[in-house]
Amino acid sequence: MSTSVNELFEKGISYPDFEYQDRFNDLVGLDDKKVRLTKILSLLINPDGLNNWGKKYHPSAKKIIGRILRRPPLIILAGDVGSGKTELATTIGDAVARQENISIALLPLSLSSRGQGRVGEMTQLISAAFDHAINEAQKLKSSTTNARGAIILMVDEADALAQSRENAQMHHEDKAGVNAFIRGVDRMGNGKLHSAVIMCTNRLGSLDPAITRRAAEILTFERPDNEQRHKVLHGPLSELGFTSQEINAFVKETGTKKERDYGFTFSDLTQRLLPSIVLGAYPDKAVSFSEAIKVAKALIPTSPFKDI
């Protein structure tokens, strides 16, 4: 079966890119995860940085640094819907590219890689995707550990491709696809390539244990707390003229309530609430607190994703 690159991947992204730099900076409330993911991804695709750090600060720590650098090039972002996983995975390459002063290509794996269920098709599609990513990464190898560039393979909704093989109801073809995925991650790691895989999932518990065991890092995402919601809302609502007290009212309104034990997601705030506030006044009047808070009270946050 011959498969084109366009069939395997969604539209690729090349970093650095100013659009994705802005989008990365707009991810307020996720500062800790942004810093952590930038560090981990930088080490996976450009180990020279950690080696240089070790020589400077801990010249005798060769074993622990070696173990860190031998970890499989796999990162899993897991958590509730609308928590910023996919947006962070899509934009993190720009931050790493700027920090390491290299070019990075993101290859978002298409969900069509599941194929049509024909015997051997899913396995061939996943293998072809890794073949392409590895071939592109091999072009970037140099005589030193310092990267000339890097490849990131991104897998969104990863549970659709990598469910646990322990599931008795799992089709043989799906199991073979998981095997192909594991082999692909191992090939990347064994090849010592400047590459990494980022998986995003709402259902961490459904992923195959062999995959989660290989992860160099598993970052768990949750709904924003009061402080995080304040960070998200403060800038935009201040631009509209709201006072600190009024902004705090929105923070409270978008949190947990008697009728529900969950608050708004990041995407509920940025993609639903804020646009709805503006559109409620557009085009013939200014935004007012009384009308805007009604919008917040009327909006129903996205229900939590149940990992079953």
| Cα 2 → chain centroid | 29
Q: Which of 49-63, 166-180, 226-240 has the lowest mean pLDDT?
A: 166-180
Q: How confident is residue 38, by pLDDT bands cut at 50, 70 and 90? A: very high
pLDDT in tens, 251-265: 999 999 998 999 999
Q: What is the CATH number of domain 5-221?
A: 3.40.50.300
Q: pLDDT tens, 209-239? A: 999 999 999 999 999 999 999 999 999 999 9
In a 3-state reduction of DSSP, which class is residue 146? Answer: coil
- Residue by residue, DSSP assigns 150-200 as EEEEEESSGGGT-B-TT-TT--HHHHHHHHHHHHHHHHHHHTT-SEEEEEE
Looking at residue 292, its pLDDT comes to 98
Give this prediction's pTM.
0.89
Residue ranges of domains in the chain: 5-221, 226-298
Greater pLDDT, 9 or 143: 9
Q: Which of 205, 204, 165 is nearest to 77 (CA)?
A: 204
